[in-house]
Chains A and B, each alone.
Chain A
Amino acid sequence: MAVKFFGQFLVENSLVSREALIKAIDLQDQKNLKLGEMAISMGYVTQTEIERAHNAQMSKDMKLGDLLVEMGILTLNQLNDVITRQKNTHLYIGEALVLVGALSAEKLQQYLADFKADQAQYVSERIELPGSIANNLVWEMTADLTYKMITRVLDLQFRPGKCQTVTTVDSNFMMAAMDLSGDVEARYIISVSEAIQKSVAKAILREDTVDDEPLEVLEDTVMEFVNVVCGNVAAKASQMGVIMEINPPVTIHPPATGLSVPTGHTGLCFPIHIGEDNKMELIIFIKS
């Protein structure tokens, strides 16, 4: 029911053992050279030059390859050669499992097809963002996965509204937020009305009624929904080559005047239309 990577799918379904998976991952670690290692093996750079670039990375927020080009150690063509060689020689987890004897080649094809079918529900659909937003594909995927989780986890029917850039977010009954860090920095927020909060609570707690539940539990269910979405967003981001760390969720009780987008951030608001008096929004504050 969640975004998974292939090895996890195999272990969860007892198709390979955890020990076999660890063995296959260790083999991948041995065979799949990192960018610096590959550049050395191709004779483009020396170990000393890689260490110099790693030291420079401490004060510069750049990927190693870009930094090697900027420092004049690699040409752009050489960098592209290294990346191509990395891609062409990459040992995938399925191949590694066959090599360590955990799977036959036939079983691998069958399980890959099963995995593809299992994950088909999370294939992203295109969502349009306004203007030029950095890492737009990540935020489009984030919105798309949020919509999919509203359907699958909350079982709510809705119509997504057009995404807009905002400087202030309208107030609402409550909001649950999670800070995202790593290759991208942002705050992910779900804003809900009182009625939507109860719908979320019913779905998360799997109860027909939540009228007697304390407010603490009701708020916790919205935070848990945010946690589930953001964890799955991080999983999908890692498949896109983007490292995203998540932090424990928090609740926000916005003032009547609304919530201002912090300085140095771009605010995106995705209205989620569920019905009259049922206000729900996905808001993302993206650090510029």
Chain B
Amino acid sequence: MSRLVPFVLIGAALAGWEIMARSGLWSPLLFPSLANIGYEFAQFFSRTDRLLEAWTSLHRALGGFALAAMTGVVIGMLMGRSAFVAGLLDPLFSGTYAVPKLALFPIFIFAFGIGSLSKVALVFLECLYPIVIITCHGARGVDRVLLWSAQNMGAPRGEILRRVVVPATVPFIFAGFRVALPVALIVVIMTEMVSSADGLGYQVIYALASLKTDRMLALVVVIALLGWLLDKALVVMRDRLVYWEKLETYYV
């Protein structure tokens, strides 16, 4: 019985939705019934052209994310381990942290064109910040006793980096990835909503413009599912790689 408690609120929300949809007080344009949403949801998976839209969005998000991950880990490590690099780059990263990089999008469109490249570039920029900041934080906080004992036992610098600093930082790197991955998806969907002719974000805007609320909501569910799956995949990968440290249950 107590197992069911978590589902109480979700069930209540769904039931409330269905009642509102069926009550006839609102037009089905505002509250489409769950059956219609489910139908559109099934439609999505039975048609390859729609699945291709999801693939377009996914490869933009993952492309930008992968670039940001590679660059961000290197910059973060350098900033964490070298006071000079940190002093040089820290004002840049903490100063522009709260600035919405999305504002650069119109300029990116002129620079990189209206296709995938401008979106990937923006995803890269937005994902870079959390990865750099959290990696730097982790690399800086490596236990000094570990470093000293490694040095004391005669390990060369490269060896210390590879065997002590990197493993100690990996949990933080993954924490940064975990913040950045939803950001990648958000930015892709946003930029596709603002200017695009393909991808899930465009499909959402298109469904809205054709007053297909049920299709739009089905797409929202698809995007939600995608975000959730990406996060799960990252957690599985993290648990494989960082087997010595359990992940505190940050999500269910």
Is chain B a partner of chain A in the same complex? no
Residues of B within 8 A of A (CB): none
Residues of A within 8 A of B (CB): none
